[in-house]
């Protein structure tokens, strides 16, 4: 599930970056290529219409956490983003039972990393302990373990770590402690590419941002099939590859 780029993206929320001009047409072209790559990898892409008055709305990942059994509509840490929820909720209703994070909890989907039955939640400026508590209650009977993880120096947990397989994570150890995610193997980003840990794993392929070729080489050297994707304009809005989609298995209508 993806959404078109808002013409207002230049007014996006920023936490760790200085504001600079964003070329909307280039951003749309890069986003279109991202969607094409997902289709080429076998995904059925449900493209939602852009939200002209919601600058950050292309970053659909932050608005929901989609598990096999349930989708959780988040309560974004930035108040300006809470208007994004209604359209995502409507789009997900045919696919999943829905639950919600309620006030006063705040949660961005970019702070949620799901690795098999482990759910890690980044404790950041956008997500808090109350959301962790609520998430634990929502999945209590589904076999998941939910753990809050301290994040430093970056926007979201998935700025610092993402999965490249069921047991291997790509990590920037300056932004998160590997010891907080026990039981996994780690590949470290190249130290000159601090923002390279955000990748998208689809099937047997890992998509990485084209601006981080050294980290891409580390993944290839580790035996992963990799594919670079240009997301340089989206990065100016503190966006990354995982931010631009909600990827999940379609429900089996014959079950």
pLDDT by residue (tens digit) across 38-82? 999 999 999 999 999 999 999 999 999 999 999 999 999 999 999
Residue 197 has pLDDT above 60, yes or no: yes
User: Is the distance from CB of 24 to CB of 246 less than 8 angstroms?
Assistant: no
Question: How many domains does the structure of the chain reveal?
Answer: 1
The residue-averaged pLDDT of 204-232 equals: 98
The predicted-structure confidence for 96-117, as pLDDT tens digits, reads as follows 999 999 999 999 999 999 999 9
Q: CATH number of the domain at 110, please.
A: 3.75.10.10
Short-list 167, 161, 212, CA closest to 188: 161
Q: Is 255 a member of any domain?
A: no
> How many whole angstroms separate alpha carbon 247 and alpha carbon 44?
10
At residue 253 the predicted structure's pLDDT band, cuts being 50, 70 and 90, is low
Q: Is 137 a member of any domain?
A: yes
- What residue ranges in the chain does DSSP mark as E strands? 2-3, 47-48, 64-66, 71-73, 98-100, 112-115, 118-123, 145-150, 161-163, 168-171, 185-188, 200-202, 205-209, 225-229
Q: Is 250 a member of any domain?
A: no
Q: Is 207 a member of any domain?
A: yes
Q: Is 32 a member of any domain?
A: yes
Short-list 140, 152, 199, CA closest to 180: 152
> How many whole angstroms separate alpha carbon 120 and alpha carbon 180?
9
Which residue is catalytic, options 12, 31, 154, 243? 243
Q: Is 62 a member of any domain?
A: yes
**Full domain range(s) for residue 60:** 2-244
Q: Is 221 a member of any domain?
A: yes
Residue 254 has pLDDT above 80, yes or no: no
Which residue is catalytic, options 12, 31, 154, 156? 156
pTM value is: 0.96
CA of 130: how far to CAs of 9, 75, 122, in Å?
29, 11, 12
Q: Is 251 a member of any domain?
A: no
Give burial (CB, 10 Å; 0-12/13-18/19+) of 132.
buried
243 is catalytic: yes
């Amino acid at each position: 599930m993806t959404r078109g780029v808002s013409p207002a993206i230049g007014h996006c929320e920023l936490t760790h970056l200085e504001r600079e001009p964003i070329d909307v047409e280039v951003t749309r072209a890069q986003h279109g290529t991202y969607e094409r790559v997902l289709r080429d990898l076998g995904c059925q892409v449900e493209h939602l219409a852009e939200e002209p008055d919601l600058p950050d709305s292309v970053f659909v990942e932050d608005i929901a956490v989609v598990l096999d059994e349930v989708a959780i509509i988040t309560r974004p840490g930035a108040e300006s983003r809470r208007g994004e929820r209604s359209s995502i909720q409507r789009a997900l209703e045919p696919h999943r039972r829905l639950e919600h994070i309620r006030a006063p909890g705040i949660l961005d989907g970019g702070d949620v990393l799901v690795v098999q039955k482990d759910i890690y939640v980044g404790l950041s400026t956008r997500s808090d302990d109350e959301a962790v508590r609520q998430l634990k209650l929502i999945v209590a009977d589904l076999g998941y373990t939910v753990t809050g993880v301290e994040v430093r120096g970056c926007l979201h947990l998935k700025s610092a770590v993402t999965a490249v397989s069921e047991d291997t994570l790509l990590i920037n150890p300056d932004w998160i402690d590997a010891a907080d995610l026990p039981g996994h193997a780690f590949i470290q980003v190249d130290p000159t590419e601090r923002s390279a840990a955000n990748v998208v794993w689809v099937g047997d392929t890992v998509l990485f941002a084209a601006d981080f070729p050294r980290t891409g080489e580390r993944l290839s050297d580790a035996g992963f099939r990799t594919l670079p994707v240009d997301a340089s304009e989206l990065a100016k809005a503190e966006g990354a590859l995982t931010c631009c989609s909600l990827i999940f298995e379609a429900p089996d209508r014959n079950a």
